[in-house]
Amino acid sequence: MNSSLPFTQQISLTCAGHTRPVVQLSFSNIVGNKRYFLISACKASSDVYANSDGGFYFDSNVCSKVWNAITGQELVSLMHDNIVKSADFAGSNELVATGGQDKSVRIFDVNRPDKPTIVASHTAPVRSVKWTQHRNMIISADNSRHINIIDVRAPSVAHTLETPENIASISLTADGKTLACAAGKRVLAWDIDSFKLVKDFNVDYEVSVAAINPTRTRMVVGGKSDLLIRCCNFDTGKQIDAHKGHHGSVHDACFSPDGQVYATGSEDGTVRLWQANPGSEYGLWQYRHI
Q: What is the mean pLDDT of the chain?
A: 86
DSSP string, 207-229: EEEEEE-TTSSEEEEEESSS--E
Tell whether the model's pLDDT for residue 49 goes beyond 50. no
**Whether the bond into 164 is cis, omega within 30 of 0:** no
Distance CA 142, CA 147 (A): 7
Q: Is the dihedral angle over the CA atoms 191, 196, 199, 205 positive or is it negative?
A: positive
Q: Find the DSSP H helices in 55-109.
A: none
Asked if omega into 214 is within 30° of 0 (cis), the reply is no
Name the residue among 171, 166, 176 with its Cα closest to residue 129: 171
- Angstrom distance (rounded) from CA 72 to CA 242: 37
Across the range 226-252, mean pLDDT stands at 91
Task: Give Dmax (Cα) for the chain.
Answer: 63
Q: Could you report the per-residue pLDDT of 151-193, keeping only the tens digit for each?
A: 988 888 999 999 999 999 999 999 999 999 999 999 999 999 9
pLDDT at res. 182: 97
Predicted model pTM: 0.86
Give dist(CA 220, CA 237) in Å, integer: 10
Q: Does 48 score more than 60 pLDDT? A: no
Give the model's confidence band at 70: pLDDT under 50 very low, under 70 low, under 90 confident, else very high.
Answer: confident
